[in-house]
Every structure is written in C-alpha cells, then in structure tokens.
Structure 1
Amino acid sequence: MSSRFLVAAASVLGLSLAAMPAAPAKAEEGMWTFDNFPIQTVNDLYGTRIDQAWLDKVRGAAVRINGCSASLVSGQGLVLTNHHCVISCVNDLSDAQNDYVKNGWMPATREEERQCPGQTAEILTDIVDVTDRVLAAGEGLEGAAFVQARGAVQQAIQTENCNNDPKLTCQVISFYRGGRYALYKFRKYDDVRLAFAPEFQAAFFGGDPDNFNFPRYALDAGFLRLYENGRPVSTPNHLTWNANAPTEGEPVFVAGNPGSTSRLLTVSQLERLRDQTMPINLIQSSELRGRLQQYSFTSEEAGRISVDPIFGLENSFKVFYGQEQTLTDAAFMATKREQEAELRARVAADPALAQRIGDPWGDLTRIEAQAADLFLPYRQLEASAGQRSALYGFARTIVRASKERAKPVAERRAGYSDADLATLGRRLATVAPIETDLEQIYLTFWLSKTREYLTVDNADVQRLLGRESPEALASRLVEGTRLADPARRAELLAMTPEQLAASGDPLIEFVLRNDDVAQAVRASWEATVSGPTARAAEKVAQARFAAFGDNQYPDATFSLRLSYGQVKGWTYRGTEVPAFTYMGGLYERATGSQPFLLAEQFAAREADVNKQTVYDFVSTNDIIGGNSGSPVINARGEVIGAAFDGNIHSLGGAFGYDGELNRTVTVSTAAITEALRNVYRQPRLLEELGVE
C-alpha cells in the first residue's frame, strides 16, 4: 500500500510469471512514458479515442510529490493523492494536544490550510531526448571516471535548461537501464499545504491484514493545495472530478510515478539480489519494526509518533517477503534464464551486433561477484548509513556540501553546483519536528548492525564507535547536536570544513571523522560495480532494441508514466473476486477491534451514508510503488479514483506482469464524494470539485 510499494513478484502467492515474454509487452502490460505511449494499440483494444491532446492534458495535470503521485483536480491548485502519502505531514502538524492523525485534518476555511514541512510538488512540462550527448560523455572511460563523466554531463544539461531557477526542476533520467536518456523539466512548487485528510482509521481500515489484499474498505485519500507567494496557484489545466463509479470492463488509465522495477535485470543480477540484498532487507526491516513496536507501547505519545514509521516498515517487510519468495522460486528463475538465453541467441545470430556489444552478460556476472564482496561495507557505511535518522542526514549533507564547495566548480561531484547548494540551503531551512526518541532508535540500530555485520575488530567499526556502545554513542550524538534547529543548520552549511571541525557539534564531528572512509567505500563501489554495470547494461539495452525494436516500455524510475487497463476482478483457484466493494461492506466488516474498528465519524454517521456507493475497485493497470496517489482516469480524461495499493498477486510487479491476476486497487471518487458530503461535512471542497 504506500509509497514504499516497491513491489516484486511472489510466485508462492499465485503468480504465473512463467508466461512472461522476453520482449514486447502484452496487452495492458507496461508503465509507458508519455513520449512513447501506444495510442493506437489502446484505441484498437478498447475502442477509445485517445490522442496527443488527451495525453498532454493528463500529463499537465499529473503531480509528483515526495515519494508519491497525485493530480490537480481544481482550478485553484487542489491536489488529490492518498492519505498515506500525506500522513507524515498530518503527523508533523499534530502534537500531544492535537492528534490529527487520529482525528483527521479538516480546516473549515482555505486560510486554515497549513504548509506541509519539506513537501514539494512538481508538474512535468517538457521531455527532451539527450541520449547521444550522455552516451558520448562516457566514451573511452571506465569505472569511477565513467560515472563522474556521465554525472558531469547530466549536471550540465540540467543546469543549462533550468538556469538555476528555483521554480524549476531539471532531471536527466536513464531509461532501459542506460539505453536511453531524457531530460525531464518540471514546474516546481515549494509551498504545499494540507487541505484535507480523513481519520487514520478510515484511511487504513483493515490495517496490515488487508494490505495488498482485496476486498478493501479504505478511504485512502487526502487533498493538498499548491501555493505561490502566499496565494493558491491558478491551475486551469486540471482533471475534471467525476463523482460516479466506473462500470465493469470500463477502460481506465493510471498516470503516476512508479518508483522502481527490475524487469530488465540479468539473471546474475537477480541472483545476487536473491542471495544477498533481499535477506538483509528482510532481517533489518523486521528487527527495526520490532524495536519501534516495543517503543510504541511505552506511552500514548510514543504510539502517535511511531504510527507512520511502523506502517512503512510493515509494508516494506511484506514487499521484501514477496520479492524473496519469487527469487527463490525455481520456475520463475528458469523462465528468466530462458528469456536471457533467447536474447543472447539473437545477438549471436547477428555477427555485427555481437561484435559491437561483446558479452555484457558475462561482464555482469563478473561484476556481481565483486559486488558481493563490497556490498556490506558499502551498505552499512555509505548507502544505508544513519538508517532513517534525519539528524544524521542533515549532518552528512552539510559536511559533504562544505567539502565540495571548497573545490573549483569544475571538480565538484554531480549535484553540488552553486544552484544545487542554494536548493540544499532552502531544504535545510525547512521547519519540521524531529522526534529525538526515534532518532536514537535509528542511530542505535544502524551502529549495532554495522558492528554486527562488519565485526568488532574492523577498523572502520572501531573508528565509528571508539570506546562507546552503540546505545551510548547514539544518545550522546542526538542529545548534543543542535541540528534540529533550522537556523543552526543554515549557519553550519555556510562553514568551511575547518570551521565545521571547530563547531562543537558532536554529530558534525562524528560525520567528519568517518566521512572520508564512507566516500572511499563509495568510490570503490562506483569503480568496481556501478560504473561497469552501467556500461554493460547499456549494451544489453542495445541488444534488446536490436532484437525487439523500440516499441517497449522501460523499467520504472520514479518518472511520469501512463498505464492502461480496465475495471475487472479476477479468479484465483476457483474463487471469483469482484471488481467492486461498497460502503455498506465497511460496516459489515467492522468487528469493534483493531484493525477492523470503525473510524469515529464513520460510526457516528452510519445512518447518513449511502451504503450502495462503490468504495474501492480494482483494475488491470500495471503499477508499482510510487504510483500511490496516482489519478485513475476514464477515457474522457476525468478522474474517477486514486490508486493506493495492489492485490497480493501484484507483488510480481518488480519482475513481471500477470494480466490474469495482477490488479491495481483504487479508492473511488464516488466514495470520496460520499465521505466529504455525509461523513466529514466538507461543503467547500465539494463545491470546489464541482459536486452538487
């Protein structure tokens, strides 16, 4: 459910992935870019009349927010997304006296809408192919030099096109594992305010047992609003709100930002994912969840502030479990080997192509063997350093920015231009609550796991801990730092490395003491793994294009995509699962105990609710994590729901698509309208949405 829905396959859960083809997408499969959407295929399949103007309108109404997707639904900057995409904002606006997570956020007037700390919203305006320029930058280079050259040219393209304008975001995105590159240019909004959020229990009714399942009875919806210069943004290009439920078999489209898929990985890459990465992800997410749950029982306030972190970890654990089950399924891996063998045979049958690309599969096998040796130090000291600690993140960001700023501009790493540093300063100035108890849990967990995995006698571990225990060190760092104060962060960001060393901040000093080693580990990873992998993956992509043509969709990269499908249930082992649930089913499913406890206002106003209203529905759209909050749109370009989950079979999303079983789960605009009208009594929002 959630933006952490980084979904993978789970054949143990009933996926029939053995039928997945090596090349062109089957009907309803694919997360397509807007500049390569199969318009004619869709129109032929459904009898629709989708055209470029339709695509342009949908693209201009789609919104990317932090970790999630959303859409404009009024001319006054009103944005529809999922509740679980705004719960961190709801939590930030809450305190011990006002628990808006529990009670909902329902301002009576627009003037009472409050800014979500750190939230941004981006709307895609331009897509420009930059493949030739990016590929040329790496010619003749290997390893870290290759990575740095590619990073430098991408940074240059971004700077040239956004010209340091804080209202714009420019991002060069890799597609097809390096086969194509495109510049995505966005209009950016930094003032994003919370306009409405229901009670948490209404949004997440059924809790973890219902997560990745259907039927569902969840009002997983929330509204944000875009502001600029203190006023709501005028957004004439928005989706029209349709308060009617869809019908069985109706064509529907999902426009959003799927986070990450691994459908184009080679067998050797999948094997290391199975043997090394997934087991550690499972172990660590499970143990950290236990620590947070234990903490949540210590007080009512502890329970409040740990709701979102626990929810995220529970969601991640279920996803990782699905990933591991698939990657350990012999039939699934056999199919992947067959597909890879077919592609390699096609390359071998074309001598010119074979000479041009060589043997990238063999290269990747060797790279993965080296990656296995480097992975644990890289993960613990660099990639996952600090675990989820915001304070550690601030400290490392400040230290690295200071180091890079001291270099000539031409020698800085990508992401540290003067414009980037200015953006960084604005981000660090964001006021957001820091929960010190959680910070100590995160840092203690990271330090203890690093000591466990790398061993007590490891020199880098000894440098991290000195003579302190993980618990004592985490406590000293969190209690002693002033990085929770945005003003102090701004002061530290302006300092040189020498000034930082003399600042007296224990967390800054801790990062300074260990950062050279962490960056050396990263440099080794780039030289040995990420650089050579990028080079080999490009060649695999060239092989795919040569064998199957350009009519393919790329792996997900948290960039705007459009999927197509139809409203449709499914049948599994003789059991038919209908496409719809109804609001009356909520009351029938309620038991009076968690997680099937009615939200207070739903219970209080049961007599006012039209129980025949479609609540949630499923469709055959191909989505994955990052699609949370995506508008579900009918063929007329009207929004009819917000996607918030997949069914249990869709845990195959990272590795393949099964049209018989994979389903997107959506909260309907019909249910949102009914709740706004008869449960939460929000006439101003209904009027803005054009609902009588």
Structure 2
Amino acid sequence: MIRTAILVFLAMFALTSGRATAEEGLWTFDNFPLARVNATYGTKLDQKWLDHLQGASVRLTSGCSGAIVSGEGLIFTNHHCIMECAQDLSDREQDYVTDGYMAARADERTCPGLMAEILTSVTDYTKEINAATAGLTGDAFVRAQSAAATGIEKKACDDDTRMHCEIVPLYQGGQYRLYKYRKYSDVRLVFAPEFQAAFFGGDPDNFNFPRYALDIGFLRIYENDAPVRTPDHLTWNTDTPREGDPVFVAGNPGTTKRLMTAAQLETLRDVVYPPVQMMKSELRGRLITFAGQDEENRRISQDAVFGVENGFKAMGAEWQALRDPAMIAAKRQEEAYLKSTLSGSFATEIGDPWAEIAEAQKAYTELFLPYNFLENTPYSSTLLNYARELVRGAAERQKPSAERLPEYADSRLPAIERDLFANAQVQKPLEQLYLEFRLSKAREYMGTDAPQTQILLGKSSPEQLAAFLVENTGLDNVDTRKALWEGGMTAIKASNDPMIQYALRIDPASRDIRRAYENRVAGPTRIAAEKIARVRFRAYGTNTYPDATWSLRLSYGRIQGWNWRGTTVTPFTYMKGIYDRATGKAPYQLPQSFIEARGKFDGNTVMDFVTTNDIVGGNSGSPAVNAQGEIIGAVFDGNIHSLGGAYFYDSGINRAVVVSTAAVSVALDKVYDNQALLAELRTN
C-alpha cells in the first residue's frame, strides 16, 4: 500500500506552495524549471540545450518515444516499441520477434503503419478555444470545442502532408496549445534483439528491479526512399554511469490523472477498475491458452500476450494506489485548500465545479458499461475497428469538416488513412478470439436483456457471431479497405461484407450512447475542469506541470536506488548478472547469441540502472541524457512503485528503469557483431 506519510506530505506541500515536490514533474519544454534544476544539480542547462534535446526527441505512433542518435535518421527506442513491426514483417518461415532482426542499410524494411514525429513548435490557442465554447453546455460545448480545435489544426498545417498539427489540452483544460510536428511515414526496422534478450525475465521481472533486459530497438526514418538527414541528434555516450549523476528524460508520457478530483478518482476505483481488471485477467488466460495450442498460435500472439500482461500488471498497481484511503484524503485536503482561496466575485463566477464533476460521475456510472462496449470498443478486433472507421468515415466525410465527429475532421483524416491503408498482418484466428471475448463480456456485464446487448448480438451467441463475421469478411485485405474508403457511402451501402453490415447495424446505437456521454459526462466535466484550472493557476501560478497528454515532456532526476521495507535496492545491474539469473527455462532462458558470447565481454559493464525521474506509460523508449545532452540509455520500464505515478509521485520509491548505452554497445559488438550499426553510433 502507498505510505500514508508520503501522501500527507504531498498534500501539505501542495497546500503551501503548489509546486512540484523533489524531482517530480512531467514538464513541458516551454515551462521547464531551468533555474531550479541548475541550482539543485549544479548544472548549466540553457535554452540551447533544451532546443537540441527537443529536436532529437521522437514520438512513435506505436505509443512510445525514441531519440535520433545519428545524422542519418537513426532512432533508438525499446524492443517492445517495435515488436509489432517485427511481427508484421515476420511469417511462418521467419520469426523476427523470437529470432531478432538485423539488416544491412539496403535491406532495412518499412514498418507497416508506423510513423515518427518530431515536435517543431508549440503555440498558445487558449483564448480562441475558450471563445468558441463561451456560454455553451453539454454536447454543444464538446462539439464547439472540437470544431474550434480541428479548425485551428487545419489552418496551421495548411495541407502540408509533412506536418501534423494537434491541439493539446493542458491542466485539464486550463490551457490549449497547438503542437506542430514534422512527421515521417516511412519508418524502417534496423535492428531488434531476440525476444528472450529484450524481455529477459518476462512477466515476473516486469515492473521490478534488478533487471537484465536488453529492451532495445533501432529504426530509421526515410523520405523519398533515402535516409533523412538529422543534424539534431544525440551523441552516444558509453561511459559508466555513476550513482548520483543527474539524468534527464525526454519523452511522451501517455496519461496521468494527478489533477482529477476526488470524485473522479473514486469512480475509477469503484466503477471502472473492477470490471476492467477482471476482463484483462480473463483475456490474458484466453490468450495464453491460445498461444499454447501450437507454434503458429504462439508466434502470432506474442505481442498480444505481452501487451495484456503488461497492462494487467500496471492497472493492478494503479488500482491498489486508488484503494489507499490516504490518497483520496490527500486529494480532498487539496480541494479544500483550493476552495478556501475563493472569494468575492471570483467565487461567484467559479461556483462549485467540484460538485459539478461529482454530479457528472453519477451519469458516468450509469453510462460506463454501454459506452464501453458500444463506443469505446475495448479488446475489440482490428477487423471490427476497420469496419467502424469505414462506416463512420463514409458518413462523416459527407458533412463540412467542422460539423463532423472530431476524429474525422480534415486535419485528422491522415491518421485514420494511415491505419486503414497500412499493410499490417491481420491474423484471423486471433481476431476471432478478441471479438468473441468482447461480445461475451458485453452480454455478461450488461445482461442478456439489455437493449445494448440485443443490438450487439441479436439472436446469435458470441461464438457464432464472431466466427461468422471474421471468417467471411474481406477487410483483412488492404485493397478492399482502400476501395471502400475511396468509394464513400455508395460503396459502403453496396458492400455485402458482413463486418461492414454489422458496423452499419450497431452504429446508430453507438452514436446515441456517445451523444449521451458527451452531454451528461464529457461536457459538464470539461467545463468544470476549466474552472478548477483557473483556481489552481490563481493559487499556484505557473509553478506546476500539467497531467500527461501524450505530448513531449521533460523530467529530471538522478541515478539512485531505493529502500523498501528494510531492503536496499542498489541502482545498477551488470551484464555478468544475466548469466547468474539464467535458468535455461522461460522466462529466464538466454538466447543462443548470449550463450555463445559468454566470456567475450566485460561482465562488469552496467546493463540496466534506475533513476528518480518521473515517468509513466508512453515514456518507453525515452532517451535518458546527461547534463551535456548526451544519451546514456533508454527508459524501458518503471519499478512497481512507479505505477502509482498515474496519481502521484514519490521520490523515495518511484524509479525509472533504463537500459544503458554501454550495454547496448557491448551487445552490438560482442553478441551480435553488428559493426556497421556500432560504427554509426560511434561516429555521431
């Protein structure tokens, strides 16, 4: 359980200053506390240092981060960030996930659907967004906000296909910033170690330390069939990291919920997490059973099993954090302080947004399950998602851009088209498992007689319907998807594809539940959150950082172990330790390459290490850099305590886990004999 003393301290600190504590913070690059960091560490970071790091930081559409590490578009990231690519490039004869991937420059292969983005500018559009929503409520507020955001995005990128523009809400709607990215759609796989090297220790070691994982991968960005010239890249440093050294992590953390209200956290704890965790647990069991049936099932489900196991463990720790009464108490204490700062006309103007959000939670509780199964589509099949994108895309593109659902606005269509037109492998046996599971859980949780269940299933069983839809659809063919997308509603209505017909059947009910959710939950919550943001700004100024929003952030920390219940965890592991940990059986089974390399390298090379940097999911692959801006590793995990980072940061025990560049260089040299890649890193 979370330590009550820590939470009380955090609450009291917030009451007195509103500033981030210790090394806490997922800071935006335009509000990074340079003076505080330099004073704390004795460093000399400046704007030039920040600009260089921003220019070398990469966001990958696989949900990860990375860094440019050469002048020829080479990206360093994690294996689990490129695992889907390796699986898409594999077949029955060649399994690049299990066996690894190593290519000469001329043989680097494109990852289907993967895109890399580099942030180029951030512009404030708060006034414009607020003006568009003034006086509106509910669904009207949500639609007006979305229309304003997508209009700004469209104008800012001005049909430049090389750019991606995105309005990012910060501080729960206290600010709206336009993030402009240079995007690269031709991303090719360069190197991946074997799965057993990358995920050595498997699920038992995941979110733990010591670790002995070589969780690395290299990609390269191309344009016009040539590697992109990237003068803004990080220098590869293989010096031995030292305890106490300052470390900076630049990446794209996905989501945190640190600014949510107590009422919202209670809804997550009591309404959302229980069924979601139960479903993750059962899906994990189904996938493991599926993988154990034969070698081909194992091959095609490796990425799926990894993802579900990772998510199940992460959410379990988050749920445990929510169940500690001290956490909610600390949140209520901070809310009481913020309310106490209200006075006069400002208090009248603000009202009680905390009560408004609490009221919206009642509607959320009522709508959660139907919204989850009809609109949010968790654990769904890729084929059904294709069908819904095609059906909705055909309907929405008949309207003016500002009147569409926001994801189908002109500025956001390229992302949908990238997914639809990617030549990624679709494994029908796995698709049937996912769809059958989703339909069976809908019936179980909502009940057989629920109108939403009747819409989803009709007279069929989950097993019958999933088998029929998956076996008979042609949406696994990219040319079929392209023809339907380009043909618009005429092609959709003329299609006899059963998955398309099924998506058409359920879409009206899906839209109805979405409209209800936006009117009763999303709209009121966003309006109230914007008010709370104004209160926080007035109380704390700009000495705070926003929740994570899958946008570029920078955290600072140092190499340091931790103490837990009388046990001291040292910050380093060494390459020789992988042999001591190996048992010859999964998940502690070494790949043959490491077995053959034993004795060929210095076993005292630091393999993995931990830092106090504040990180969450999405930071995978983030570059860990020193005060000189040189890369010394890549974040690939956090310890189990860091999973509470969705809600709070505790510098005493939260740790980021990093694979060292020193170990990467040794592995490329002595284990894989990849001298070309090693030379590229050394000369940059």
Fold match (TM-score > 0.5) = yes
The answer as to 2:462 corresponding to 1:470 is yes
- 276-285 vs 461-470, which moves further: 461-470
Equivalent-residue separation in structure 1 for 2:389 and 2:233 (angstroms)? 36
Secondary structure of the corresponding residue to residue 689 of structure 1: helix
Q: Return the letter of the residue paired with 1:130.
A: Y
1:678 corresponds, among 667, 670, 673, to 670
| Cα deviation 1:615-665 (Å, max 9, x = unaligned) | 000110000000000000000000000001111111220111101111110
Alignment coverage as a number of residue pairs = 678
2:8 corresponds, among 3, 11, 18, to 18
The answer as to 2:616 corresponding to 1:624 is yes
Q: Percent of aligned pairs with the same residue? A: 52
The answer as to 2:25 corresponding to 1:30 is yes
Q: Return the letter of the residue paired with 1:324.
A: W
Match of 2:534 in 1: 542
Note if contact 1:15-1:649 (Cα within 8 Å) is conserved in structure 2: no
1:609 corresponds, among 601, 606, 630, to 601
The answer as to 2:248 corresponding to 1:245 is no
The answer as to 2:248 corresponding to 1:258 is no
1:212 corresponds, among 207, 210, 231, to 207
2:282 corresponds, among 274, 282, 287, to 287
TM-score (norm 1): 0.96
Match of 1:479 in 2: 471
Secondary structure of the corresponding residue to residue 534 of structure 1: helix
Note if contact 2:133-2:141 (Cα within 8 Å) is conserved in structure 1: yes
1:182-331 matched pairs, under 5 angstroms: 182-331=177-326
Note if contact 2:558-2:612 (Cα within 8 Å) is conserved in structure 1: yes
Deviation of 1:139 after TM superposition, in Å, equals: 0.3
Match of 2:100 in 1: 104
Deviation of 1:410 after TM superposition, in Å, equals: 4.2
- 597-606 vs 46-55, which moves further: 597-606
| Cα deviation 1:155-211 (Å, max 9, x = unaligned) | 011001101221110000000000011000000000000000001100101111111
Gaps of 5+ in 1: 1-9
Equivalent-residue separation in structure 1 for 2:158 and 2:415 (angstroms)? 13
Match of 1:574 in 2: 566
Deviation of 1:419 after TM superposition, in Å, equals: 5.0
- 296-305 vs 409-418, which moves further: 409-418
Equivalent-residue separation in structure 2 for 1:467 and 1:427 (angstroms)? 32
Q: Return the letter of the residue paired with 1:201.
A: Q
The answer as to 2:82 corresponding to 1:89 is no
Deviation of 1:77 after TM superposition, in Å, equals: 0.3
Note if contact 2:150-2:411 (Cα within 8 Å) is conserved in structure 1: no
Match of 1:5 in 2: none
- 486-495 vs 172-181, which moves further: 486-495
Match of 2:350 in 1: 357
Deviation of 1:422 after TM superposition, in Å, equals: 5.2
Deviation of 1:411 after TM superposition, in Å, equals: 2.6
| Cα deviation 1:530-579 (Å, max 9, x = unaligned) | 01100000011111111111111000001000000011111122221111
Match of 2:520 in 1: 528
Note if contact 2:261-2:354 (Cα within 8 Å) is conserved in structure 1: yes
Match of 1:124 in 2: 119
Note if contact 1:15-1:652 (Cα within 8 Å) is conserved in structure 2: no
1:458 corresponds, among 444, 450, 457, to 450
Note if contact 1:15-1:661 (Cα within 8 Å) is conserved in structure 2: no
Deviation of 1:413 after TM superposition, in Å, equals: 2.7
Q: Return the letter of the residue paired with 2:88.
A: D
Deviation of 1:495 after TM superposition, in Å, equals: 2.8
Match of 2:75 in 1: 79
Q: Return the letter of the residue paired with 1:106.
A: M
Deviation of 1:420 after TM superposition, in Å, equals: 3.7
Note if contact 2:147-2:403 (Cα within 8 Å) is conserved in structure 1: no
- 30-39 vs 542-551, which moves further: 542-551
The answer as to 2:487 corresponding to 1:495 is yes
Secondary structure of the corresponding residue to residue 527 of structure 1: helix
Q: Return the letter of the residue paired with 2:493.
A: A
Q: Return the letter of the residue paired with 2:464.
A: A
Match of 1:600 in 2: 592
- 452-461 vs 647-656, which moves further: 452-461
Gaps of 5+ in 2: none
Equivalent-residue separation in structure 2 for 1:420 and 1:503 (angstroms)? 25
Note if contact 1:243-1:691 (Cα within 8 Å) is conserved in structure 2: no
| Cα deviation 1:51-98 (Å, max 9, x = unaligned) | 000000000000000200000000000000000100111111111111
The answer as to 2:336 corresponding to 1:368 is no
Deviation of 1:424 after TM superposition, in Å, equals: 3.2
Equivalent-residue separation in structure 2 for 1:423 and 1:553 (angstroms)? 28
Match of 1:651 in 2: 643
Deviation of 1:498 after TM superposition, in Å, equals: 4.7
Note if contact 1:201-1:599 (Cα within 8 Å) is conserved in structure 2: yes
Match of 2:47 in 1: 52
1:170 corresponds, among 162, 165, 176, to 165
Match of 1:6 in 2: none
